[in-house]
Chain A
């Protein structure tokens, strides 16, 4: 449950980081400087956020994690991933 929520959120954050990187030279330069390549930084940021958010969500409700029906989690995962991917695909068509 915890990492499923983290996945949905990070799928969206991944897309937003793409927009931030492409729109802001300062963000792009910072990402390039941190690891020597913007893409490596991007992957690292998303993976670290996935781990941290998953861990945080797992600690909710005295360590029992988020309380929600599994079918709602399925909907959240599906929506988050599809929205994130469509944002990336759409950004490079319409906005870049």
Chain B
């Protein structure tokens, strides 16, 4: 079950990232015809991120302790000491950004150039931080793997 929760966390994170990149491109070419899709994408990105955050948060609070002990005894303690410690905190800022995205996208982006730039800025920040979170998560997972492989058989 915990593996499914963790996979769900990654799946929703990637879905948020894809929705945000799609949104970014649509906003670059904002016109009356794609405003509805822009708004739906912004909401989808926010929902995906919340689902990923809740899944990851649940796993972190309930299941991560065992992985943490393995990582700290292995050759990559930085996988927890740096990458998990930073990830668990910057994703809170990412949560705020993802929540704000549909609020910013509710403006008429076809007519308002400044509002368009705001959405592009927020979307770009979401995409970059989401990619960073994926990378951090990969290193954390690898920290568990290298620790288990380093154990004598």
List residues of A whose CB falls within 8 A of some B CB. Answer: 3-4, 7, 10-11, 14-15, 18, 37, 39-40, 42-43, 46-47, 50, 69-71, 73-74, 77-78, 81-82, 84-85, 88-89, 92-93, 96
Please classify the interface of chain B as helix (H, G, I), strand (E, B), loop, or mixed, using the class held by over half of its residues: helix
For the complex, is B125 an interface residue (Cβ under 8 Å from A)? yes
Contact status A39-B85, CB under 8 Å:
no
For the complex, is B40 an interface residue (Cβ under 8 Å from A)? no
For the complex, is B57 an interface residue (Cβ under 8 Å from A)? yes
State which size class the interface on B falls in.
20 to 34
Contact status B93-A84, CB under 8 Å:
yes
**24 CB-based A-B contacts, threshold 8 Å:** A4-B104, A7-B96, A10-B93, A11-B93, A14-B96, A18-B89, A39-B60, A39-B61, A40-B57, A42-B92, A43-B57, A47-B95, A50-B96, A70-B115, A70-B118, A74-B114, A74-B121, A81-B93, A82-B125, A88-B86, A89-B90, A92-B81, A92-B82, A93-B82
